[in-house]
Amino acid sequence: MTITDLPISSLVNKLRNKEITAREVIENYAKNIYEKEKNIKAFINLDIENALKRAEELDKMDEKKGLLFGVPVAVKDNMNVKNCETTAGSQILKGYISPYNATVVKKLEEENAIIIGKTNMDEFAMGSSNENSSFFPTHNPVNYDYVPGGSSGGSAASVKSEEALAALGSDTGGSVREPAAFCGVVGLKPTYGLVSRYGLIAFSSSLDQIGPLTRNVKDCAIMLNAIVGFDLHDETSVNIKKEDYTSFLGKEIKGKRIGIIKEVMDFNIQDEIKEELKKTVSTLVKLGATVTEISIAHLKYALPAYYIVAPSEASSNLSRFDGVRYGLTVQGENLTSTYELTRAEGFGKEVKRRILIGTFALSAGYYDAYYLKASKVRKILANEFEKAFEAVDTLLLPTTATTAFKLGEKKSPLEMYMSDIFTIPVNLAGLPSISVPHGNDKNGLPIGMQFIGNWFKEKELLQIAYAVENG
Protein backbone atom coordinates (compact mmCIF):
# COMPACT_ATOMS: atom_id res chain seq x y z
CA MET A 1 0.00 0.00 0.00
CA THR A 2 1.44 3.35 -1.03
CA ILE A 3 1.10 6.60 0.90
CA THR A 4 -1.50 7.94 -1.54
CA ASP A 5 -3.72 4.93 -0.89
CA LEU A 6 -4.09 5.75 2.81
CA PRO A 7 -7.40 7.13 4.06
CA ILE A 8 -7.33 10.24 6.26
CA SER A 9 -7.26 8.57 9.68
CA SER A 10 -4.45 6.13 8.74
CA LEU A 11 -2.38 8.86 7.12
CA VAL A 12 -2.73 11.17 10.11
CA ASN A 13 -1.82 8.31 12.47
CA LYS A 14 1.29 7.41 10.52
CA LEU A 15 2.35 11.06 10.52
CA ARG A 16 1.75 11.35 14.25
CA ASN A 17 3.76 8.19 14.89
CA LYS A 18 6.50 9.58 12.64
CA GLU A 19 6.32 6.49 10.43
CA ILE A 20 6.22 8.86 7.48
CA THR A 21 6.85 12.57 7.02
CA ALA A 22 4.49 15.20 5.66
CA ARG A 23 7.12 15.96 3.03
CA GLU A 24 6.92 12.39 1.81
CA VAL A 25 3.14 12.68 1.66
CA ILE A 26 3.28 15.76 -0.53
CA GLU A 27 6.04 14.27 -2.70
CA ASN A 28 3.92 11.18 -3.34
CA TYR A 29 0.86 13.22 -4.19
CA ALA A 30 3.00 15.51 -6.37
CA LYS A 31 4.11 12.43 -8.29
CA ASN A 32 0.47 11.56 -8.96
CA ILE A 33 -0.20 15.12 -10.02
CA TYR A 34 2.71 15.25 -12.45
CA GLU A 35 1.60 11.98 -13.94
CA LYS A 36 -2.14 12.59 -14.27
CA GLU A 37 -2.84 16.30 -14.24
CA LYS A 38 -2.08 16.87 -17.92
CA ASN A 39 -4.93 14.52 -18.82
CA ILE A 40 -7.36 15.41 -16.07
CA LYS A 41 -6.82 19.13 -15.54
CA ALA A 42 -8.44 19.20 -12.13
CA PHE A 43 -6.60 22.30 -10.96
CA ILE A 44 -6.65 25.95 -11.96
CA ASN A 45 -3.80 26.66 -9.58
CA LEU A 46 -1.32 24.23 -8.08
CA ASP A 47 1.25 25.28 -5.55
CA ILE A 48 3.35 22.23 -4.76
CA GLU A 49 6.31 24.37 -3.71
CA ASN A 50 4.22 25.99 -1.06
CA ALA A 51 2.71 22.66 -0.04
CA LEU A 52 6.18 21.21 0.44
CA LYS A 53 7.19 24.23 2.51
CA ARG A 54 4.13 23.77 4.68
CA ALA A 55 4.88 20.02 4.97
CA GLU A 56 8.36 20.77 6.25
CA GLU A 57 6.91 23.12 8.85
CA LEU A 58 4.58 20.35 9.98
CA ASP A 59 7.45 17.88 10.15
CA LYS A 60 9.29 20.21 12.50
CA MET A 61 6.37 20.40 14.90
CA ASP A 62 6.78 18.51 18.15
CA GLU A 63 3.09 18.19 18.72
CA LYS A 64 1.39 16.81 15.67
CA LYS A 65 -2.07 18.19 16.31
CA GLY A 66 -5.05 18.64 14.06
CA LEU A 67 -7.74 16.41 12.60
CA LEU A 68 -6.16 16.77 9.17
CA PHE A 69 -2.51 16.84 10.12
CA GLY A 70 -0.56 16.64 6.87
CA VAL A 71 -3.60 15.78 4.74
CA PRO A 72 -3.30 17.19 1.21
CA VAL A 73 -6.59 18.94 0.47
CA ALA A 74 -7.77 20.53 -2.77
CA VAL A 75 -10.02 23.58 -2.52
CA LYS A 76 -12.52 24.65 -5.14
CA ASP A 77 -11.48 27.91 -6.70
CA ASN A 78 -14.53 29.84 -5.46
CA MET A 79 -13.18 29.81 -1.90
CA ASN A 80 -10.79 32.57 -0.90
CA VAL A 81 -7.30 31.54 0.08
CA LYS A 82 -5.20 34.42 1.34
CA ASN A 83 -2.49 35.60 -1.05
CA CYS A 84 -3.66 33.09 -3.66
CA GLU A 85 -5.32 33.68 -6.97
CA THR A 86 -9.07 33.07 -6.53
CA THR A 87 -10.98 33.09 -9.82
CA ALA A 88 -14.22 31.11 -9.40
CA GLY A 89 -13.38 29.77 -12.86
CA SER A 90 -13.96 33.16 -14.45
CA GLN A 91 -11.89 35.43 -16.67
CA ILE A 92 -13.32 38.38 -14.78
CA LEU A 93 -11.28 37.35 -11.72
CA LYS A 94 -8.18 36.13 -13.52
CA GLY A 95 -5.18 37.35 -11.59
CA TYR A 96 -7.24 38.37 -8.56
CA ILE A 97 -5.23 37.69 -5.41
CA SER A 98 -7.42 37.38 -2.36
CA PRO A 99 -6.40 39.35 0.73
CA TYR A 100 -8.24 37.05 3.13
CA ASN A 101 -9.06 33.44 3.97
CA ALA A 102 -12.50 31.91 3.75
CA THR A 103 -13.61 30.53 7.12
CA VAL A 104 -13.38 26.95 5.83
CA VAL A 105 -9.83 27.56 4.63
CA LYS A 106 -8.92 28.99 8.02
CA LYS A 107 -10.38 25.87 9.62
CA LEU A 108 -8.46 23.55 7.30
CA GLU A 109 -5.27 25.39 8.22
CA GLU A 110 -6.10 25.19 11.92
CA GLU A 111 -6.41 21.43 11.55
CA ASN A 112 -3.01 21.44 9.84
CA ALA A 113 -4.26 20.29 6.45
CA ILE A 114 -2.02 21.16 3.51
CA ILE A 115 -3.79 23.03 0.71
CA ILE A 116 -2.33 21.67 -2.45
CA GLY A 117 -4.19 23.72 -5.02
CA LYS A 118 -7.36 25.37 -6.26
CA THR A 119 -9.61 23.19 -8.35
CA ASN A 120 -11.30 23.87 -11.63
CA MET A 121 -15.01 24.56 -11.74
CA ASP A 122 -17.81 25.80 -13.92
CA GLU A 123 -17.60 29.58 -13.98
CA PHE A 124 -19.13 30.95 -10.75
CA ALA A 125 -20.35 27.39 -10.05
CA MET A 126 -22.88 27.60 -12.88
CA GLY A 127 -22.81 24.27 -14.64
CA SER A 128 -22.93 20.50 -14.23
CA SER A 129 -19.95 19.33 -16.29
CA ASN A 130 -17.02 21.73 -15.73
CA GLU A 131 -17.31 22.63 -19.40
CA ASN A 132 -18.32 26.13 -18.32
CA SER A 133 -14.92 26.79 -16.79
CA SER A 134 -13.55 29.79 -18.62
CA PHE A 135 -10.06 28.25 -18.56
CA PHE A 136 -10.35 24.62 -19.70
CA PRO A 137 -12.61 21.63 -19.07
CA THR A 138 -11.67 18.93 -16.54
CA HIS A 139 -11.75 15.30 -17.59
CA ASN A 140 -13.28 12.42 -15.67
CA PRO A 141 -10.44 10.31 -14.17
CA VAL A 142 -12.47 7.17 -14.83
CA ASN A 143 -12.57 7.88 -18.55
CA TYR A 144 -10.99 11.01 -20.01
CA ASP A 145 -13.64 11.31 -22.73
CA TYR A 146 -16.26 11.98 -20.10
CA VAL A 147 -17.04 15.02 -18.00
CA PRO A 148 -16.36 14.87 -14.26
CA GLY A 149 -19.64 16.62 -13.52
CA GLY A 150 -19.88 20.07 -12.01
CA SER A 151 -19.59 22.55 -10.81
CA SER A 152 -17.12 21.05 -8.31
CA GLY A 153 -15.77 18.82 -11.10
CA GLY A 154 -12.14 19.67 -10.39
CA SER A 155 -12.54 18.77 -6.72
CA ALA A 156 -14.21 15.42 -7.51
CA ALA A 157 -11.61 14.58 -10.16
CA SER A 158 -8.69 15.47 -7.89
CA VAL A 159 -9.95 13.06 -5.23
CA LYS A 160 -10.72 10.27 -7.67
CA SER A 161 -7.31 10.56 -9.36
CA GLU A 162 -5.55 10.66 -5.98
CA GLU A 163 -4.07 14.05 -6.76
CA ALA A 164 -5.50 15.04 -3.37
CA LEU A 165 -6.74 13.02 -0.44
CA ALA A 166 -9.82 15.15 0.07
CA ALA A 167 -11.37 18.25 -1.43
CA LEU A 168 -13.85 20.97 -0.70
CA GLY A 169 -16.62 21.77 -3.11
CA SER A 170 -19.67 23.98 -2.99
CA ASP A 171 -23.18 22.76 -3.66
CA THR A 172 -25.91 25.15 -4.80
CA GLY A 173 -28.07 22.68 -6.72
CA GLY A 174 -25.98 19.52 -6.67
CA SER A 175 -22.51 20.83 -7.43
CA VAL A 176 -20.84 18.54 -4.88
CA ARG A 177 -23.03 15.47 -5.23
CA GLU A 178 -23.38 15.28 -9.02
CA PRO A 179 -19.60 15.32 -9.70
CA ALA A 180 -19.12 12.92 -6.76
CA ALA A 181 -21.54 10.53 -8.47
CA PHE A 182 -19.95 11.01 -11.91
CA CYS A 183 -16.41 10.41 -10.60
CA GLY A 184 -17.23 7.69 -8.08
CA VAL A 185 -16.38 9.50 -4.87
CA VAL A 186 -18.33 10.51 -1.75
CA GLY A 187 -19.81 14.01 -1.71
CA LEU A 188 -21.76 15.68 1.08
CA LYS A 189 -23.91 18.77 1.03
CA PRO A 190 -24.45 19.75 4.68
CA THR A 191 -27.58 21.38 6.10
CA TYR A 192 -27.78 25.02 5.07
CA GLY A 193 -26.06 26.99 7.81
CA LEU A 194 -23.90 24.16 9.19
CA VAL A 195 -20.75 25.31 7.38
CA SER A 196 -19.82 28.98 7.14
CA ARG A 197 -20.12 30.58 3.72
CA TYR A 198 -17.79 33.45 4.63
CA GLY A 199 -15.22 33.67 1.88
CA LEU A 200 -17.15 31.50 -0.56
CA ILE A 201 -17.78 33.53 -3.70
CA ALA A 202 -21.56 33.63 -3.74
CA PHE A 203 -23.58 32.15 -6.56
CA SER A 204 -26.97 31.84 -4.90
CA SER A 205 -26.62 32.87 -1.27
CA SER A 206 -29.73 31.13 0.05
CA LEU A 207 -28.73 27.81 -1.54
CA ASP A 208 -24.91 27.71 -1.46
CA GLN A 209 -23.29 25.35 0.99
CA ILE A 210 -19.72 24.09 1.20
CA GLY A 211 -19.18 20.35 1.50
CA PRO A 212 -16.41 17.75 1.38
CA LEU A 213 -15.55 15.33 -1.43
CA THR A 214 -13.66 12.24 -0.28
CA ARG A 215 -12.81 8.67 -1.19
CA ASN A 216 -15.00 7.16 1.50
CA VAL A 217 -17.67 8.00 4.06
CA LYS A 218 -15.33 8.01 7.04
CA ASP A 219 -13.02 10.55 5.40
CA CYS A 220 -16.12 12.59 4.66
CA ALA A 221 -17.13 12.59 8.32
CA ILE A 222 -13.62 13.63 9.38
CA MET A 223 -13.60 16.48 6.86
CA LEU A 224 -17.00 17.58 8.09
CA ASN A 225 -15.71 17.58 11.67
CA ALA A 226 -12.99 19.95 10.52
CA ILE A 227 -15.09 22.51 8.66
CA VAL A 228 -18.35 22.86 10.62
CA GLY A 229 -19.03 25.45 13.26
CA PHE A 230 -20.85 28.66 13.97
CA ASP A 231 -19.17 31.66 12.38
CA LEU A 232 -19.70 35.24 13.52
CA HIS A 233 -18.88 36.34 9.98
CA ASP A 234 -21.87 34.54 8.48
CA GLU A 235 -25.33 35.46 9.76
CA THR A 236 -26.83 32.40 8.10
CA SER A 237 -24.51 30.06 9.97
CA VAL A 238 -26.28 28.20 12.73
CA ASN A 239 -25.15 28.11 16.32
CA ILE A 240 -25.56 24.48 17.33
CA LYS A 241 -23.53 22.18 19.49
CA LYS A 242 -20.53 20.62 17.77
CA GLU A 243 -20.88 16.90 17.18
CA ASP A 244 -18.45 14.17 16.24
CA TYR A 245 -19.72 13.09 12.83
CA THR A 246 -17.71 9.87 12.94
CA SER A 247 -19.40 8.70 16.13
CA PHE A 248 -22.24 6.78 14.46
CA LEU A 249 -20.10 5.15 11.75
CA GLY A 250 -20.30 1.38 11.98
CA LYS A 251 -23.31 1.45 14.28
CA GLU A 252 -25.96 -0.92 13.03
CA ILE A 253 -28.89 0.59 11.13
CA LYS A 254 -31.43 -1.97 12.20
CA GLY A 255 -34.86 -0.40 12.51
CA LYS A 256 -33.95 2.70 10.51
CA ARG A 257 -36.82 3.88 8.37
CA ILE A 258 -35.81 4.60 4.78
CA GLY A 259 -38.13 6.35 2.34
CA ILE A 260 -38.15 5.97 -1.44
CA ILE A 261 -39.58 9.02 -3.18
CA LYS A 262 -42.45 7.89 -5.39
CA GLU A 263 -42.20 10.85 -7.80
CA VAL A 264 -38.58 10.08 -8.66
CA MET A 265 -39.82 7.26 -10.89
CA ASP A 266 -41.74 9.80 -13.04
CA PHE A 267 -38.40 10.84 -14.45
CA ASN A 268 -36.46 9.07 -17.16
CA ILE A 269 -33.75 7.17 -15.30
CA GLN A 270 -30.95 5.11 -16.82
CA ASP A 271 -31.68 1.39 -16.34
CA GLU A 272 -28.41 0.59 -14.61
CA ILE A 273 -29.09 3.31 -12.08
CA LYS A 274 -32.57 1.88 -11.38
CA GLU A 275 -30.84 -1.46 -10.90
CA GLU A 276 -28.39 0.00 -8.37
CA LEU A 277 -31.25 1.65 -6.53
CA LYS A 278 -32.90 -1.75 -6.12
CA LYS A 279 -29.63 -3.25 -4.94
CA THR A 280 -29.24 -0.47 -2.41
CA VAL A 281 -32.73 -1.15 -1.11
CA SER A 282 -31.92 -4.84 -0.67
CA THR A 283 -28.71 -4.01 1.15
CA LEU A 284 -30.65 -1.73 3.52
CA VAL A 285 -33.30 -4.36 4.13
CA LYS A 286 -30.62 -6.96 4.70
CA LEU A 287 -29.12 -4.66 7.35
CA GLY A 288 -32.47 -4.45 9.11
CA ALA A 289 -33.79 -1.14 7.83
CA THR A 290 -37.39 -0.77 6.68
CA VAL A 291 -38.04 0.75 3.29
CA THR A 292 -41.30 2.54 2.47
CA GLU A 293 -42.58 4.72 -0.32
CA ILE A 294 -42.97 8.43 0.40
CA SER A 295 -44.49 11.21 -1.68
CA ILE A 296 -42.89 14.57 -2.37
CA ALA A 297 -45.68 15.78 -4.61
CA HIS A 298 -44.05 19.02 -5.74
CA LEU A 299 -40.73 17.41 -6.66
CA LYS A 300 -41.13 18.25 -10.33
CA TYR A 301 -41.44 21.96 -9.58
CA ALA A 302 -38.04 22.05 -7.90
CA LEU A 303 -36.06 22.54 -11.10
CA PRO A 304 -38.15 25.47 -12.45
CA ALA A 305 -38.23 27.10 -9.01
CA TYR A 306 -34.47 26.72 -8.73
CA TYR A 307 -33.94 28.36 -12.10
CA ILE A 308 -35.75 31.45 -10.82
CA VAL A 309 -34.24 31.71 -7.34
CA ALA A 310 -30.63 30.89 -8.20
CA PRO A 311 -30.28 33.20 -11.23
CA SER A 312 -32.12 36.01 -9.37
CA GLU A 313 -29.69 35.92 -6.49
CA ALA A 314 -26.78 35.42 -8.88
CA SER A 315 -27.73 38.47 -10.94
CA SER A 316 -27.31 40.54 -7.78
CA ASN A 317 -24.31 38.67 -6.37
CA LEU A 318 -22.37 39.12 -9.59
CA SER A 319 -23.04 42.87 -9.80
CA ARG A 320 -19.85 43.58 -7.88
CA PHE A 321 -17.77 42.40 -10.82
CA ASP A 322 -17.83 45.74 -12.56
CA GLY A 323 -14.18 46.40 -13.34
CA VAL A 324 -13.97 49.26 -10.86
CA ARG A 325 -12.07 47.83 -7.90
CA TYR A 326 -10.56 44.45 -8.81
CA GLY A 327 -10.40 41.80 -11.46
CA LEU A 328 -10.70 42.46 -15.16
CA THR A 329 -11.22 46.02 -16.40
CA VAL A 330 -11.91 46.80 -20.02
CA GLN A 331 -11.76 50.56 -20.24
CA GLY A 332 -14.55 52.13 -22.27
CA GLU A 333 -15.04 55.75 -23.20
CA ASN A 334 -17.26 56.34 -20.20
CA LEU A 335 -18.46 54.59 -17.07
CA THR A 336 -21.38 52.72 -18.64
CA SER A 337 -19.30 51.44 -21.51
CA THR A 338 -16.59 50.33 -19.08
CA TYR A 339 -19.20 48.29 -17.22
CA GLU A 340 -20.54 46.84 -20.44
CA LEU A 341 -17.19 45.97 -22.00
CA THR A 342 -15.79 44.51 -18.78
CA ARG A 343 -18.78 42.29 -18.17
CA ALA A 344 -19.16 41.35 -21.84
CA GLU A 345 -15.59 40.15 -21.96
CA GLY A 346 -15.24 38.85 -18.41
CA PHE A 347 -18.32 36.65 -18.13
CA GLY A 348 -18.96 33.48 -20.10
CA LYS A 349 -22.13 32.56 -21.95
CA GLU A 350 -23.86 30.58 -19.20
CA VAL A 351 -23.13 33.23 -16.59
CA LYS A 352 -24.58 35.91 -18.84
CA ARG A 353 -27.64 33.76 -19.51
CA ARG A 354 -28.31 33.38 -15.78
CA ILE A 355 -27.70 37.07 -15.06
CA LEU A 356 -30.26 37.88 -17.74
CA ILE A 357 -32.79 35.36 -16.41
CA GLY A 358 -32.32 36.66 -12.87
CA THR A 359 -32.50 40.31 -13.86
CA PHE A 360 -35.71 39.62 -15.73
CA ALA A 361 -37.25 37.62 -12.89
CA LEU A 362 -36.63 40.42 -10.40
CA SER A 363 -37.85 43.22 -12.63
CA ALA A 364 -40.74 45.41 -11.53
CA GLY A 365 -43.98 43.76 -12.58
CA TYR A 366 -42.48 40.27 -12.81
CA TYR A 367 -41.28 39.81 -9.24
CA ASP A 368 -44.55 38.36 -7.95
CA ALA A 369 -45.02 36.01 -10.86
CA TYR A 370 -41.50 34.59 -10.71
CA TYR A 371 -39.40 35.19 -7.63
CA LEU A 372 -42.24 35.23 -5.15
CA LYS A 373 -43.86 32.19 -6.73
CA ALA A 374 -40.58 30.29 -6.70
CA SER A 375 -40.12 31.20 -3.03
CA LYS A 376 -43.55 29.69 -2.36
CA VAL A 377 -42.55 26.48 -4.12
CA ARG A 378 -39.51 26.32 -1.86
CA LYS A 379 -41.70 26.59 1.18
CA ILE A 380 -44.08 23.92 -0.06
CA LEU A 381 -41.19 21.56 -0.83
CA ALA A 382 -39.67 22.14 2.59
CA ASN A 383 -43.03 21.39 4.19
CA GLU A 384 -43.35 18.17 2.18
CA PHE A 385 -39.90 17.05 3.25
CA GLU A 386 -40.68 17.95 6.84
CA LYS A 387 -43.74 15.77 6.68
CA ALA A 388 -41.79 12.93 5.06
CA PHE A 389 -39.30 13.01 7.91
CA GLU A 390 -42.10 12.34 10.37
CA ALA A 391 -42.54 8.95 8.68
CA VAL A 392 -38.94 8.07 7.78
CA ASP A 393 -35.42 8.85 8.97
CA THR A 394 -33.74 9.11 5.61
CA LEU A 395 -34.74 9.33 1.97
CA LEU A 396 -33.02 7.33 -0.74
CA LEU A 397 -32.86 8.25 -4.42
CA PRO A 398 -30.27 8.25 -7.18
CA THR A 399 -27.94 11.24 -7.23
CA THR A 400 -28.41 11.63 -10.98
CA ALA A 401 -30.69 10.14 -13.62
CA THR A 402 -27.73 9.25 -15.84
CA THR A 403 -24.06 8.48 -15.45
CA ALA A 404 -21.41 10.89 -16.74
CA PHE A 405 -21.78 12.07 -20.33
CA LYS A 406 -19.13 12.81 -22.90
CA LEU A 407 -17.48 16.21 -23.19
CA GLY A 408 -19.40 18.29 -25.70
CA GLU A 409 -22.30 15.84 -25.70
CA LYS A 410 -24.95 18.03 -24.11
CA LYS A 411 -25.73 20.90 -26.37
CA SER A 412 -28.69 22.78 -24.91
CA PRO A 413 -28.68 24.47 -21.52
CA LEU A 414 -31.94 22.74 -20.61
CA GLU A 415 -30.42 19.31 -21.22
CA MET A 416 -27.60 20.29 -18.92
CA TYR A 417 -29.97 21.64 -16.25
CA MET A 418 -31.66 18.22 -16.11
CA SER A 419 -28.45 16.75 -14.63
CA ASP A 420 -29.49 18.21 -11.30
CA ILE A 421 -33.15 17.20 -11.05
CA PHE A 422 -32.55 14.93 -8.04
CA THR A 423 -30.13 17.16 -6.21
CA ILE A 424 -31.81 20.55 -6.54
CA PRO A 425 -34.84 19.83 -4.27
CA VAL A 426 -32.42 19.28 -1.39
CA ASN A 427 -30.89 22.75 -1.71
CA LEU A 428 -34.29 24.41 -2.01
CA ALA A 429 -35.27 22.81 1.30
CA GLY A 430 -31.87 23.40 2.93
CA LEU A 431 -31.49 19.71 3.83
CA PRO A 432 -28.31 17.65 4.17
CA SER A 433 -27.61 15.04 1.53
CA ILE A 434 -24.82 12.67 0.62
CA SER A 435 -23.88 10.86 -2.57
CA VAL A 436 -22.07 7.53 -2.24
CA PRO A 437 -20.68 5.46 -5.11
CA HIS A 438 -22.73 2.34 -5.82
CA GLY A 439 -21.68 0.26 -8.80
CA ASN A 440 -20.94 1.19 -12.39
CA ASP A 441 -22.77 1.25 -15.69
CA LYS A 442 -21.80 -0.97 -18.63
CA ASN A 443 -19.14 1.53 -19.70
CA GLY A 444 -17.56 1.36 -16.28
CA LEU A 445 -18.80 4.80 -15.30
CA PRO A 446 -19.67 5.24 -11.61
CA ILE A 447 -23.20 5.46 -10.26
CA GLY A 448 -24.08 7.50 -7.16
CA MET A 449 -26.80 6.83 -4.60
CA GLN A 450 -28.11 9.78 -2.69
CA PHE A 451 -29.40 9.89 0.88
CA ILE A 452 -31.27 12.91 2.19
CA GLY A 453 -31.48 13.47 5.93
CA ASN A 454 -33.53 15.67 8.16
CA TRP A 455 -32.11 19.10 9.01
CA PHE A 456 -28.85 18.78 11.00
CA LYS A 457 -29.03 14.97 10.98
CA GLU A 458 -25.64 14.58 9.29
CA LYS A 459 -24.51 12.04 11.89
CA GLU A 460 -27.38 9.68 11.06
CA LEU A 461 -26.98 10.36 7.35
CA LEU A 462 -23.32 9.40 7.47
CA GLN A 463 -24.21 6.31 9.51
CA ILE A 464 -26.52 5.01 6.80
CA ALA A 465 -24.15 5.98 3.98
CA TYR A 466 -21.36 4.13 5.78
CA ALA A 467 -23.53 1.04 6.22
CA VAL A 468 -24.39 1.00 2.51
CA GLU A 469 -20.78 1.67 1.52
CA ASN A 470 -19.64 -1.30 3.60
CA GLY A 471 -22.72 -3.45 3.06
Partner 1 sequence: MNEYKPTIGLEIHIQLNTKTKLFCGCSTQFGEKPNTHICPVCLGLPGALPVLNEKAVEYGIKLGLALNMKINKESTFYRKNYFYPDLPKGYQITQYTIPIASEGFLEIKTEKGKRKISIQRGHIEEDSGKSIHTGDITESTYSYIDFNRSGVPLMEIVTYPDIETAEEAYHFLVLLRKTVRYLGVSSGDMEKGALRCDVNVSLSKSNTMGTKVEIKNLNSFRSIRKALEYEIKRQTEMLKNGEKTIHETRHFDEKTGITKSMRTKEELNDYRYFPEPDLPPLLLNKALVEDIKNSLPELPTQKEERFIRQYLLSDAYAYEITSSTELADYFESIAKATGKPKEAANFLMGSIMKFLNETEKTISEIGFDEKKFIEFFSLLEKGIISKNIAKEIIIESLKTGKSPKKIVEEKGLIQITDENKIEEIVQQVLKENPEAVSRYLSGKTQILGFLAGQVMKKTKGKANPQIANKLLAEALNKMKQ
Binding site for partner 1 (CB under 8 A): 78-80, 86, 88, 93, 96, 98-100, 102, 197-202, 204-206, 232-236, 312-313, 315-316, 318-322, 324-326, 335, 339, 359, 362-364, 367, 371
Task: Give dist(CA 306, CA 110) in Å, integer.
Answer: 35
* Nearest distance from C-beta of residue 419 to partner 1, angstroms: 24
**Cα 444 versus chain centre, distance:** 23
Alpha-carbon Rg for the chain, nearest whole angstrom, is 21
Question: Which member of 36, 41, 76, 256 is catalytic?
Answer: 76
Q: Which of residues 85 and 275 has its CB atom nearest to partner 1 in the complex?
A: 85
CB of 338 to partner 1, least distance (A): 9
Strand ranges across the sheet with 290-294: 43-46, 114-119, 72-76, 166-171, 209-214, 186-189, 433-440, 446-453, 394-398, 257-261, 290-294
CB-nearer residue toward partner 1: 205 or 270: 205
The answer to whether residue 76 is catalytic is yes
Q: Which of 424, 418, 423, 435 has its CA nearest to residue 268?
A: 418
Please say if 363 is a catalytic residue. Answer: no
Is 196 catalytic? The answer is no
Q: Residue ranges of the alpha helices (H) in 18-121?
A: 22-40, 48-60, 103-110
If the CB atoms of residues 97 and 285 are measured against partner 1, the closer one turns out to be: 97
The one catalytic residue in 175, 196, 312, 419 is 175
Which of these, 349, 285, 351, 342, lies nearest to 124 by C-alpha position?
351
Q: How far is the CB of 203 from partner 1 (least distance, A)?
A: 11
Give the residue from 239, 195, 39 showing the smallest Cα distance to 105: 195
Rounded to the nearest whole angstrom, what is the least distance from the CB of residue 57 to partner 1 in the complex? 26
Whichever of 136 and 367 has its CB closer to partner 1, that residue is: 367
Residue closer to partner 1, measured from CB, 21 or 359: 359
Helices then strands (H, E): number in the chain? Answer: 15, 11
| Shorter beta-carbon distance to partner 1: residue 312 or 399 | 312
Q: Shortest distance, CB of residue 78 to partner 1, whole angstroms?
A: 8
Could you give the CA distance from residue 132 to residue 124 in angstroms, rounded to a whole number? 9
Collapse the DSSP code of 261 into the 3-class scheme (helix H, G, I; strand E, B; otherwise coil) and give the result.
strand
Q: Which of 90, 98, 129, 151 is catalytic?
A: 151
Q: Specify the DSSP class assigned to residue 158.
A: H
- Do the beta carbons of residue 189 and residue 163 sit within 8 Å? no
**Shortest Å distance, C-beta 361 to partner 1:** 9
Catalytic annotation, residues: 76, 151, 175
